[in-house]
């Protein structure tokens, strides 16, 4: 079927030993220019590419990274997941690593046997998986979830700060009645964005009544339910912080259906900085979270750990950033 040229073919044609071929493949300098040229010629001639399985077997190490995504429904329809995949995919290409995908229910231990390292895209109920991966000696890094009680790398955004920034901005605009639609509270990002929001409001002595906090799950559907609740309230909020841009977009949609103006009647602020925010009827003000960079950072981390050279920073916290566009304004008098 597939009958590829092997290192032997190349060596034969170049009239050198396979060792020499191996040396040029691996960029080892101690090869004479003459031999190097011959080998390169032969490689080109055969369009030779080393067999990775053989390399891995011989080297005893594996330069592929597993990306494990929690498989809850809807995860794949989120900007979050998709941006992560893009970022990880891109970084893997840059570092010449293979990307292997695991979509997990969170329970079965994932097979870390055939990857050099694994990236967990958030950790929800799958701590066990991280533990067992770690136990097998596989380098791990988790994205967007701080874990300080395990010896695992992470790269996360400061979600508490994100919640605070949102609240602070709204307060600075003069709002007194601010509501929030949380993310999935099973995720650390969800609880922490809420926490930051609450914290800052408390510091500013702005009350946050229970009916102003609606538990969402990052989905448009949950945002719609929440928004409808909010607008039905006898004393509706003048500003809404949604824990994801997709939810924020849905809030705007609901508001417009009800004949409310954004930001005239109600201000809306999101979280993510999803490019989709630019194209709706109102450009969304949001908290930018550097997802793509987190993904890249995770790959880089594994890359240096697997290569075993240099030291990789184990715990990284990135800062979110306010991006002001059109969806927030001062409250109506």
Q: Least distance in Å: CB of 305 to DNA?
A: 16
Asked if 19 interacts with DNA (CB under 7 A), we say yes
Q: Pick from DNA, a copy of itself, none: which does 244 bind, CB < 5 to 8 A by kind?
A: none
Q: Pick from a copy of itself, DNA, none: which does 64 bind, CB < 5 to 8 A by kind?
A: a copy of itself
What is the length of the chain? Answer: 333
Q: Pick from DNA, a copy of itself, none: which does 90 bind, CB < 5 to 8 A by kind?
A: a copy of itself
Asked if 135 interacts with DNA (CB under 7 A), we say no
Q: Site for a copy of itself (CB under 8 A): which residue of 28, 44, 276, 317?
A: 276
User: For the chain, what is the HEC assignment?
Assistant: CCCCCCHHHHHHHHCCCHHHHHHHHCCCCCCCHHHHHHHHHHHHHHCCCCCHHHHHHHHCCCCEEEEEEECCCCHHHCHHHHHHHHHHHHHHHHCCCEEEEEEECCCCCCCCCCCCEEEEECCCCCHHHHHHHHHCCCCEEEECCCCCCCCCEEEEECHHHHHHHHHHHHHHCCCCCEEEECCCCCCHHHHHHHHHHHHHHHHCCCCCCHHHEECCCCCHHHHHHHHHHHHHCCCCCCEEEECCHHHHHHHHHHHHHCCCCCCCCCEEEEEECCHHHHCCCCCCEEEECCHHHHHHHHHHHHHHHHHCCCCCCCEEEECCEEECCCCCCCCCC
Asked if 61 interacts with a copy of itself (CB under 8 A), we say yes
Q: Site for DNA (CB under 7 A): which residue of 37, 44, 54, 103?
A: 54
Q: Least distance in Å: CB of 221 to a copy of itself?
A: 5
Q: Mark 209-228 with x for binding to a copy of itself (rule: CB under 8 A) and - for no binding.
A: -----------xx--x----
Asked if 136 interacts with DNA (CB under 7 A), we say no
The dihedral sign for the CA sequence 225, 231, 237, 240: positive
Asked if 279 interacts with a copy of itself (CB under 8 A), we say yes
Closest to DNA by CB, 96 vs 210, is: 96
Q: Site for a copy of itself (CB under 8 A): which residue of 49, 128, 314, 315?
A: 49
Asked if 82 interacts with a copy of itself (CB under 8 A), we say yes
Q: From CA 153, how far away is CA 156, in angstroms rounded? A: 10
Q: Pick from a copy of itself, DNA, none: which does 45 bind, CB < 5 to 8 A by kind?
A: none
# of chain residues touching DNA (CB under 7 A):
28
Q: From CA 187, how far away is CA 183, in angstroms rounded? A: 8
Q: Mark 20-49 with x for binding to DNA (rule: CB under 7 A) and - for no binding.
A: x-xx-xx--xxxx-xx------------x-
Asked if 111 interacts with a copy of itself (CB under 8 A), we say yes
Closest to DNA by CB, 29 vs 205, is: 29
325 close to 280: Cβ distance less than 8 angstroms: no
Is the preceding omega at residue 130 within 30 degrees of 0, hence cis? Answer: no
87 close to 294: Cβ distance less than 8 angstroms: yes
Residue 257: other Cβ atoms inside 10 A:
12
# of chain residues touching a copy of itself (CB under 8 A):
52
Asked if 253 interacts with a copy of itself (CB under 8 A), we say yes
Closest to a copy of itself by CB, 4 vs 204, is: 4
Q: Which residues bind a copy of itself (CB under 8 A)?
A: 1-4, 49-54, 56-57, 60-62, 64, 76-77, 79, 81-83, 85-86, 89-90, 92-93, 98-101, 103, 111, 113-114, 136-138, 220-221, 224, 250, 253, 256-257, 275-276, 279-281, 308
Q: Which residues bind DNA (CB under 7 A)?
A: 4, 6-8, 16-20, 22-23, 25-26, 29-32, 34-35, 48, 50-51, 54-55, 57-60
């Amino acid at each position: 079927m597939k009958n590829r040229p092997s290192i032997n073919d190349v060596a034969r044609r170049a009239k050198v030993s396979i060792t020499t071929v191996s040396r040029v493949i691996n960029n080892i300098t101690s090869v004479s220019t003459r031999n190097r040229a011959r080998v390169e010629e032969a490689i080109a001639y055969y369009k030779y590419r080393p067999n990775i399985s053989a390399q891995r077997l011989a080297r005893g190490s594996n330069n592929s990274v597993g990306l494990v995504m929690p498989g809850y429904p809807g995860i794949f329809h989120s900007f979050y997941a998709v941006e992560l995949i893009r970022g990880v995919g891109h970084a893997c290409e840059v570092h010449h690593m293979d990307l292997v995908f695991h979509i997990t229910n969170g329970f079965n231990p994932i097979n870390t046997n055939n990857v050099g390292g694994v990236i967990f895209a958030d950790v929800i109920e799958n701590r066990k998986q991280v533990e067992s991966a770690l136990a097998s000696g596989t380098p791990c890094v988790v994205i967007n979830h701080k874990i300080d009680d395990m010896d695992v790398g992470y790269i996360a955004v400061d979600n508490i700060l994100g919640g605070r920034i949102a609240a602070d901005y709204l307060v600075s605009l003069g709002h007194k009645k601010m509501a929030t639609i949380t993310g999935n509270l099973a995720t650390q990002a969800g609880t922490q964005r809420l926490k930051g929001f609450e914290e800052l409001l408390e510091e500013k002595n702005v009350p946050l009544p229970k009916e102003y906090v609606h538990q969402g799950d990052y989905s448009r559907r949950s945002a719609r339910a929440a928004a409808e609740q909010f607008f039905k309230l006898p004393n509706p909020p003048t500003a809404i912080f949604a824990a994801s841009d997709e939810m924020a977009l849905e809030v705007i949609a609901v508001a417009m259906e009800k004949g409310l103006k954004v930001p005239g009647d109600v201000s809306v602020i999101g979280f993510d900085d999803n490019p989709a925010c630019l194209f709706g009827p109102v450009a969304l003000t949001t908290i930018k979270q550097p997802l793509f960079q987190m993904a890249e950072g995770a790959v880089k981390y594994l890359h240096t750990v697997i290569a075993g050279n240099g030291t990789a920073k184990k715990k990284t916290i990135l800062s979110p950033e306010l991006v002001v566009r059109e969806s927030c304004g001062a409250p109506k008098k």
